[in-house]
Structure 1
Amino acid sequence: MARKTREEAEQTRHLLLDTAEQVFWDKGVAGTSLSDIATAAGLTRGAIYWHFSNKLDLFNALCDRIMPQLMTLDEALLDESTCPALRLWQHGHAMFALLRDDPRIRRICGIHHLGCEQVGEMAPLLLEQISWTQEKQAKLHQVLLSAQAQQLLRPGIDPRLAALGLHSLYGGLMHSWLLTPEDDTIHQQLAALLSPYFEGIFKQGCWLPPLPPATE
């Protein structure tokens, strides 16, 4: 019986997270109360407080659901067995493919970018976002330092500034697409959008995947 109770509690937790994801997406975080989420899930407000201490706790749990996929992207980014310039190129494409193909990641990223005011009870998110941004830029910087060591960067390129620029480029393209997700131009033309930046920091073509062997 105890095991069944734990399983039911876990099912309720997942239901609350699924519901919060949709309601936050529809109404924004500031415009959503815990009572709204409970009502939409067909549960009592007390059921939410059994699993989450407040809206921030629930929101963080929501974001934790997509962390394994994002960590997989970062693991590939930091895999030193591959050319660093090529890793960065592939990382950008993999990131946008995940955003396009996974509705949950698209909604949670959309909530972060468009539907979450980092004020009031959600103010701690600002510090978390700053920390996450610094961590992401540090990973890009690490890869660009490796590229510099392999003499893949153009003369005069500062890896730290290049990491800041690349992170900003990714963030800007993501934000633009989330504003109009029905427009697939960014995904269809991602190579054309990224190429000018890569051409500006890397030597000729070293970021491009190798061509398949010619067939006779």
Structure 2
Amino acid sequence: MKRTKAAAQETRNRILDAAEQIFVARGVAAATLSEIADTASVTRGAIYGHFANKSELFAAIIERAGLPVESLAKQVAKVPETDVLAHLHKVFAQSLHDVSRSPRTWRIFAIVFRKYAMADESCPVLMRCRRAADELQTSLRIALRHAVRGGQLPRDLDVEFASSLFVVLWNGVFLARLSSSPMADVQHDEAGRIAQGWLDVLRHSPACRGKEQVR
């Protein structure tokens, strides 16, 4: 029984590994289960023994690897009410550095941001990505409001805009590196400069100012 379970898990992992490879090369929509089966050296029937369809297979890939934005949202949510900006700087810089050094994470970014094209709005992966992005935005807004109340940021900061700017910058760093394989590493000093640049924009740019003050 143990041998059977181990063999089934090994086959499942081979299928997931092959699907990652094919999805990166061709995109989710263009990839076929036959290609994945050939790459994994299994039959199509073996794939159906583990996954009902291609959407479920992709969801399993994401479940195994996780979404970097989910981890980032959890770290941002741990922000203390004092010295908020130091916490955000550390979390943002560390995330940029760590994500860029993970080959599997590079593949997930490549699939989701450049290759992923499925029309079904109810696709589990699409819903999970949106939910994670919403959680990050919520955590950021709470953190930024703490920073405003603590006098670290202008009282008229447009918190909604500032949190959106963070997400755009975070995603943009990786999108700019997806043309290289594996993803070009974001060194610690570079990640720190990027994080500091975002915080400096929040402090000094008129574009980040709103009409209402945070209370």
Q: CA deviation at 1:39?
A: 0.8
CA contact (8 A) 1:56 1:121 kept: no
1:211 corresponds in structure 2 to: none
CA contact (8 A) 1:73 1:91 kept: yes
1:40 corresponds in structure 2 to: 39
CA contact (8 A) 2:28 2:115 kept: yes
2:207 corresponds in structure 1 to: none
| Matched residue SS, 1:31 | coil
1:200 corresponds in structure 2 to: 201
The one-letter code sitting in structure 1 at the alignment partner of 2:167 is H
Please give the alpha-carbon distance, in whole angstroms, between the structure 1 residues aligned to 2:182 and 2:108. Answer: 17
Q: After superposing the two structures, state which structure 1 stretch, 44-53 or 159-168, moved more.
A: 159-168
CA contact (8 A) 2:12 2:50 kept: yes
1:148 corresponds in structure 2 to: 148
1:207 corresponds in structure 2 to: none
Q: How does 1:11-50 map to 2 (within 5 A)?
A: 11-50=10-49
Deviations 1:154-180 (A, max 9, x none): 231022221111111111222111134
Please give the alpha-carbon distance, in whole angstroms, between the structure 2 residues aligned to 1:172 and 1:69. Answer: 14
Q: CA deviation at 1:122?
A: 8.4
Q: CA deviation at 1:87?
A: 1.9
Q: How does 1:1-216 map to 2 (within 5 A)?
A: 2-67=1-66, 71-81=70-80, 83-119=83-119, 125-180=125-180, 184=184, 187=187, 189-202=190-203
User: Would you say how many aligned residue pairs link Structure 1 and Structure 2?
Assistant: 202
Q: CA deviation at 1:196?
A: 3.1
TM-score, normalization by structure 2: 0.81
* Unmatched segments (≥5 aa) in structure 1: 204-216
More contact order relative to length (CA 8 Å, sep ≥ 6) = 2
Go from structure 1 to structure 2 and tell me whether the alpha carbon gap of 1:22 and 1:181 turns closer, same or farther (over 3 Å shift): closer
| Matched residue SS, 1:114 | helix
CA contact (8 A) 2:93 2:195 kept: no
CA contact (8 A) 1:29 1:117 kept: yes
Please give the alpha-carbon distance, in whole angstroms, between the structure 2 residues aligned to 1:68 and 1:127. Answer: 12
Please give the alpha-carbon distance, in whole angstroms, between the structure 2 residues aligned to 1:184 and 1:58. Answer: 27
1:212 corresponds in structure 2 to: none
TM-score, normalization by structure 1: 0.81
Percent of residue pairs bearing the same amino acid type: 27
Q: CA deviation at 1:69?
A: 6.7
- Alignment root-mean-square deviation, CA: 2.7
Q: CA deviation at 1:63?
A: 0.7
Deviations 1:116-163 (A, max 9, x none): 113259856444433332222112112212212322112310222211
CA contact (8 A) 2:28 2:111 kept: yes
Q: After superposing the two structures, state which structure 1 stretch, 23-32 or 103-112, moved more.
A: 23-32
